[in-house]
Amino acid sequence: METRIIDEISEYMRLDIFLTHHYSEVSRSRLQQAVKDGDILINGTPAKKSHILRRGEEVVINGLDEIISSGEEVRIIPQEMDLEILFEDENYVIVNKPSGLVVHPGNGNPDGTLLNGLFYHLRDNPGTPRLVHRLDKDTSGVIMCAKNDHAHDLMSKKFQKREVYKGYLGICIGRYPDASGVIDAPIGRSRIDPVKRTIRPDGRHSRTDYARLFYQSGISLIAYRLHTGRTHQIRVHSSYTGFPILADSYYGGEKEMVKRLEPLERAFAYRVYTAFHRQALHARYLSFEHPFTGEKTTVVGPLPEDFQKAIAMMELTEDNLAVFETDTLEIPYEPKELNDD
């Protein structure tokens, strides 16, 4: 049996979303079956998957080990994979995920995921590996896996308390009017597309800090820091403010947006656009106080090839991105403005 008390971070989340977030090693269908079987209780009463959680509610999961281990469809098959390990100790492993790699098995992706590779990498580990957070399939960068349940719970609480700093690098179309700022707009599920997210008055509180590192000819290089961890948060916030992530066709960053730029801007913007075959978003760093050692730990994910090509076009190097090694988005130098018209 496992018990969780709902805090302010998980309040207003649907039960099925909450379960999927916290138990990524279990298929969504298996978790839904556990709800139907009455194995998941809220304040002592069998729950419904659509239940909206409230702060202080007690969620009890009976037979968690059996839920994790039962049924072939929920077993993670260890698969050998060339993982770029950035950090590893006895409790955590942090990987630089390439774009195009799904993080965990699900509908349409029964295997070949990051979690399959981590199960192979940790095949001699006594505990069950569990992802602490997630990244979209086509977002590259730093992602953390706990090697056991205790490590997962401790780090999950840090994420919930916003004690883990998550920094992203993105390239967007257009230029934010301010060198740095805050996007604070609630995000909810789209009523038209169940996968897509949108800004809604009844959505969940969502905050993204940003700092402009570079601008030229309709293209901006942006440092983002998440205070909340909503699905597609940076992509939605960027689109909402009118500066969609480059090559993100799902949220308005398609080639047609590049074509709408002023004629003198299009050549450079299109060159940068052609470097990407996915949204130009990279999870650059994680910074946290290690829950076991108390040491300040910062892990920075090297740039993938497409980002390397893009910043070379901007005449920048990774040394210009040192802002990611701090816990704030204070810009240590003036943004490089090459087209200030």
Half-sphere exposure of 106 (CA within 13 A, CB side): 12
Treating both helix axes as pointing N-terminal to C-terminal, what angle do 15-22 and 28-36 enclose, rounded to 10 degrees?
A: 130
The full 3-state SS of the chain, as one line of letters, equals CEEEECCCCCCCCEHHHHHHHHCCCCCHHHHHHHHHCCCEEECCEECCCCCECCCCCEEEECCHHHHHHCCHHHCCCCCCCCCCEEEECCCEEEEEECCCCCCCCECCECCCCHHHHHHHHCCCCCCCCEECCCCCCCCEEEEEEECCHHHHHHHHHHHHCCCCEEEEEEEEECCCCCCEEEEECCEEECCCCCCCEEECCCCECCEEEEEEEEEECCEEEEEEEECCCCCCHHHHHHHHCCCCECCCHHHCCCHHHHHCCCHHHHHHHHHHHCCCCCCCEEEEEEEEECCCCCCEEEEECCCCHHHHHHHHHCCCCHHHHHHHHCCCCCCCCCCEECCCC
Residues sharing a CB contact under 8 Å with residue 263, sequence separation 6 or more, in sequence order: none
- Any catalytic annotation for residue 184? no
Catalytic: which of 16, 39, 136, 306? 136
Active site residues: 136
